[in-house]
Amino acid sequence: MHTRVYKASRRLKNGVRNDGDHTNPTLPEEIIESILVLLPLPSIARFRSVCKHWRAMLSSALFST
């Protein structure tokens, strides 16, 4: 048991997780849009810098009001 604690704490210290699956789970774009449309405009403007995909999504006609 002591070895497990040591290994787990070492992984956390190094910032490494070994879950076996390194894929990023994503929500469907429709769900993200339905959440983002509820946010105030200053937040939406900030979120455009998250990534290229979000910039394109938040520059669409749905968010350009």
Percent of the chain whose pLDDT exceeds 90:
6
Residue 33 reports pLDDT greater than 70: yes
> Tens digit of pLDDT for each residue in 34-50?
998 898 989 988 988 98
Whether residue 34 is contained in a domain is answered as yes
- pTM of the shown model: 0.49
Residue 46 lies in a domain: yes
Mean pLDDT of the chain: 74
> How many domains does the chain divide into?
1
7 inside domain: no
Among 33, 42, 35, 38, smallest CA distance to 60 is for: 33
Task: Report how far residue 56's alpha carbon sits from residue 49's, in angstroms, rounded to the nearest whole number.
Answer: 10
Q: Averaged over 16-44, what is the pLDDT?
A: 77
